[in-house]
Every structure is written in C-alpha cells, then in structure tokens.
Amino acid sequence: MKSNVIAIMKKELARFFGDKRLMLSAVLLPGILIYLVYSLMGSALTGMLETEEDYRYTLSTVNFPQSVSALTRDLKADITAIDAAEIAAAKAAVAEKTLDLLAIFPEDFDAQVAAYDPASGETAPRVALYYNAARTESAAAYNLMTGVLNTFESALANKFDINPGDEDFDLATDKDASGFIFSSLLPMLLMVLLFSGCMAVAPEAIAGEKERGTIATILITPVKRSELVMGKIFALAVVALFSGASSILGTLLSLPKLMGGASESMSAVFYGPADYLMLAAVVLSTVLVLISMISIISAYAKTIKEAQTSVMPLMIIVMLVGMTGMFSGGAQAAAPYYFIPLYNSVQSMVGIFSFNVSASHVLVTVLVNLALSAAFGFVLTRMFNSEKIMFNK
C-alpha cells in the first residue's frame, strides 16, 4: 500500500480514536444504547405477557359444574362461587381489575352438555367468561379457563390423542433451532447496524471536511485523489466496523432478554471457523460497499447535516433488503442472486447462519462487493477532482 494512503488512513483513525466525544457517540454509545433499549424492551414484554410465578388467580364462578371444577384443581387459583344476583358486582370487579375472571355456566350445564347433539343445529350450551384484556393476569386467567374448557370438551368425545405422553416429538436439534433463529434475525440486524456504523462516520469525514474547508488543504498537496479516497474509505471502514461491532455486541448480549424462552436453545457454538471466516469476508466487503456509497452521497452534500439527511433513503433500502432475509426461508440457491448488491450479502449471511452456505456463493458475493467498492471508489475519485463538487458551497 502506498505511503500516502497509509498516512491518510493514520490521520483519519487518529481523528476518530483520539476524539473521546466521537468515540463515545459513534462507537460506544450505539452498543450500550442498543443493549439497554433491547433489554428493557425484553423485560417489559416479558412482564406484559407473563404473570409472577407464585401468583394466584382470583376467579368467581356462577353454577360452576363439578365436571369442570375437577379439572381446575391444579390451577393456582382462588375460585369463589357466587349467586346470579352478584354477577353485576363481579363484572364491575373484573372491569376494575380486582377480579381476574368471572365464569358463568348454565344452571344444569352437565345435563345440557350431555343432551346436546351437535348435528341438531340447535344452539349449544353457553359458557360466559368475563375478563379484562388490559390486565395481564386477567388475560392469563381467561387463557387458562379456555384451556380447561377445551380439555373438557375434548374429553367428552375422545376418539384419538395427539402426541400423548412425555416423549419429545419436536425433532429439531439445538443446532437447527439456532440456525433458524440466527438466520431469520441476524442478517437484517447486521445490515442495519453496519449501515448505522458507516452512517456515523462517513458524513463527518467527507462532508464535514468539505464544510470545514480542511479537505482543500489536502487537495493542494501532491497526493493523488485516488490515494486520498482509498485512505479515507479504508479508515472509515475500520471505524464503521468498530461501530458495527459495538452495536452487534449490544444486540447479542440483549438477545436472551429480548427473546425470553425462545433463546434457550440458541448458541453460537455450532458455527465453525470456516463459517466465521466467511461471515467476516461478507461483513468486511459489505462495509466497503456501504461506506463508499455513503461517501459518494456525503461528497455531494455541502454539510454534514445535508449528508445525513440524504443518506436516509439509502438506509430504508438497506433495511428493506435486510428484511428479505427474514422471509426468504433459507438462502437462495441460484447463483444470479449473488450478483445483486446488498441482497447478495443478506443471502450469504442467511446461508452461513442456517448452515446451508455455498462457498462459491460467498465468493461471488465478496468479489461483487469488492468490484462495486472499487467502482464507487473510482466515482469518488472523480468527484474529488471536480471543483464543482468539492468547492460548491
């Protein structure tokens, strides 16, 4: 590598890693904030959907039949039988969240059920369950009672059982589960977080230097424009990778809290060195594409603010392309897909995470990304040569 490229890289890296404020905002804060926000979101969601382990539900019943009551013995619930005259008060209690559930059965429920013929076309015996969806415990009590009644209904006409006993009928291994979850989530997250990392540094380094008039000071030295572009892009890619790594670390650390029980079977130990190597090649080449794209937009902009605003549509595109990985049901098998910029990176990542990777597809992706980065670098060099672009204020 030429000495001028190295000199510019060193200067750019010194600028970012020497500036505590920039380091904090571009590298440390994204990871910390993502970890905090996702963890809080996970805790809040878990709290919303789950009740405390030792919680006892409060249920009021009218005409509670013995047949159903027998099925509720294992429920952690205090069940109170009330009269028809108390129904209005019980409904009010459910509405006021002081009672979890009110179950009203017909007076002769068992007899009505026994006499009912589904083929008759007559109205079936009715059970009314009053609950409050705005209270987690009330909604959970409703689900429990619905489950009990479904079990009761099945028991009345038990012709066959599905998956009886304690046998584990889900034949997916932990590796399969990890592959499924990682390949659904991580390609999109990686694309968005890497883009955020690039966006945090490129406008400052390109549009910022234009805005402050410091880039012209370099343009009057004998350094070639192509060397300036290479030095900047390589340095920005390094900083963006740090920023992206911080975000990824924050995401991975918060994932168990965000996903609750679904994360129990997830583990990264199933991925081998070859997987990590291919992932690193895809991530690095993708960062080069993203950083050169954002650099071109930043070079057109007159100010950092303008650059950041102009980059937003690109972020939406990257996000949408990233989301295709969530619904693709595995990596694309046809080679032409790996010639489509950005989409190729997502598909390669899906392949790697789902243990269904093709080395040739990854190779095509990396080569296409490198070729595209070189093309964008050439465009950027031309832009650095253009007085209209560099000195247009």
Partner 1 sequence: MAEIITVTGLNKSFKRSAKQQKLEKTKQRLVQAVSDLSFSAQQGEIFGLLGPNGAGKTTTLRMLATLIKPDSGEAVLDGAAISSQPALVRTKIGFLTSELKLEEFFTPNYLYDFFASLHGVDPALRDRRKSYIFEKFGIRDFAEVKIANLSTGMKQKASLAISLVHDPEIIIFDEPTNGLDVITAKVVTDYLVDLRRQGKTILVSTHIFSLVEKICDRVGIIINGKMTACDTLDNIRAGQSLEDRFFDIYSEAVGAVI
* Cβ proximity of 364 and 339 under 8 Å: yes
Among candidate residues 118, 106, 101, the one with its CA nearest the CA of residue 156: 118
C-alpha closest to that of 202 among 294, 286, 285: 294
Beta-sheet pairing, 128-131 with 101-104: antiparallel
Number of residues that bind partner 1 (CB under 8 A): 24
- Least distance in Å: CB of 292 to partner 1? 22
Pattern of binders to partner 1 over 178-217, x per CB under 8 A? -------------------------------x--xxx-xx
Kindly tell me which of 161 and 387 has the beta carbon lying closer to partner 1: 387
Minimum distance, C-beta of residue 182 to partner 1, in the bound complex (Å): 39
The smaller minimum CB distance to partner 1, of residues 45 and 218, is found at 218
Residues β-bridged to residue 131: 101
What is the token pair recorded at 50? 């789950």
What is the β-pairing status of strands 77-81 and 57-62? parallel
Taking the complex as a whole, how short is the minimal distance between the CB of residue 219 and partner 1, in angstroms?
6
> Pick from 353, 202, 191, 382: which is nearest to 267 by CA?
353
In the bound complex, what is the minimum distance in angstroms from residue 214's beta carbon to partner 1? Answer: 5
Enumerate residues 289-348 that contact partner 1 by CB under 8 A.
none
Token output for 19: 């500036």
Smallest separation, CB 234 to partner 1 (Å): 16
Q: Which of 19, 50, 174, 264 binds partner 1 (CB under 8 A)?
A: 19
CB nearer to partner 1: pick between 379 and 390: 390
Give the list of residues 6+ apart from residue 145 with CB closer than 8 angstroms, or none: 59, 72, 101, 103, 129
Q: Are 330 and 324 in contact (CB under 8 A)?
A: no
Q: Which of 222, 272, 273, 336 binds partner 1 (CB under 8 A)?
A: 222
Q: Is 166 helix (H, G, I), strand (E, B) or coil?
A: coil
Q: Does 81 help bind partner 1 (rule: CB under 8 A)?
A: no
- Residue window 102-121: x/- pattern of binding to partner 1, with contact defined by CB under 8 A: --------------------
Residues that bind partner 1 (CB under 8 A): 3-4, 7-8, 11, 14-15, 18-19, 209, 212-214, 216-224, 387, 391
